[in-house]
Amino acid sequence: MFKKLLSGLFGAGGNDATSNNAPAAEPVEHNGFLIISEPAQQSGQYRVSGWIRRPLTGDGEEEADEVFEHRFERSDMVPDREACDELMIRKARRFIDETGDDMFAR
């Protein structure tokens, strides 16, 4: 039960019937960040949303064990999934260029 609660809080298990998110798109790299479009479906349209992630790098060749993660949500609604993914990537790139790692500061 605790695992189910945590997965609901942190977005895991997005394939259940109660989720309004479309399947995540393939990640797009920008300046060391990964942009993952995962639009929310609402009233037959797609809301720009997804994740911006930055893997913590070790000594260069090892895979990152930890990842900084920022939920990226916007109010923009688009009728087409492909257009929504493109808008998400464009807005996320600009956000990354403007804020960089500060998006992870608390």
List all residues 6 or more positions away from 81 whose beta carbon is below 8 Å from its beta carbon: 22, 39, 46
pLDDT recorded at residue 63: 59
Quick one: pLDDT band at residue 19, thresholds 50, 70, 90?
low
Residue 68 falls inside a structural domain: yes
| Mean pLDDT computed over every residue of the chain | 80
Q: Residue 21 corresponds to which tokens in the numbers above? A: 């998110």
CA distance 81 to 95: 21
For 43-73, how does the pLDDT look when each residue is reduced to its tens digit (9 = 90+)? 999 999 999 999 876 555 555 578 889 999 9
Residue 13 falls inside a structural domain: no
Averaged pLDDT for residues 24-37: 93
Quick one: pLDDT band at residue 13, thresholds 50, 70, 90?
very low
For 39-51, how does the pLDDT look when each residue is reduced to its tens digit (9 = 90+)? 999 999 999 999 9
Residue 41 falls inside a structural domain: yes
Residue 25 falls inside a structural domain: yes
List all residues 6 or more positions away from 77 whose beta carbon is below 8 Å from its beta carbon: 42, 45, 46, 47, 48
Which pTM was predicted?
A: 0.71
- Local structure of residue 3 (DSSP, 8 states): H
Residue 7 falls inside a structural domain: no
Residue 9 falls inside a structural domain: no
